[in-house]
Amino acid sequence: MAGATAVQVGTATFANPRALVDVIEGIEAWLGAEGIASVRDIIGCALPPRD
């Protein structure tokens, strides 16, 4: 929501080999619960408006 288009979760797979899948499924579930069609729809939405 702050504008990132990529996140790093590679190190988490050392502790949980399913970490990447869990992140993807969690984001998909949250988007669905919020009625948001695509993660692209929220990129940058938390940023203040530009003048």
In order along its 51 residues, the chain shows pLDDT tens digits of 877 777 788 888 999 999 999 999 999 999 999 999 999 999 888 888 777
Q: What is the pLDDT of residue 32?
A: 97
Query: Distance (Å, rounded) from C-alpha 36 to C-alpha 49?
Result: 21
Q: What is the pLDDT of residue 6?
A: 76
Q: What is the pLDDT of residue 50?
A: 79
Write down the residue that tokens 């990129």 correspond to.
Answer: 43
SS3 letters for 9-28?
CCCHHHHCCCHHHHHHHHHH
Range of 46's domain? 1-51
Structure tokens at 6: 């990529």
The structure's pTM equals: 0.73
Residues counted in the chain: 51
What is the number of domains present in the chain? 1
Q: What is the pLDDT of residue 27?
A: 92
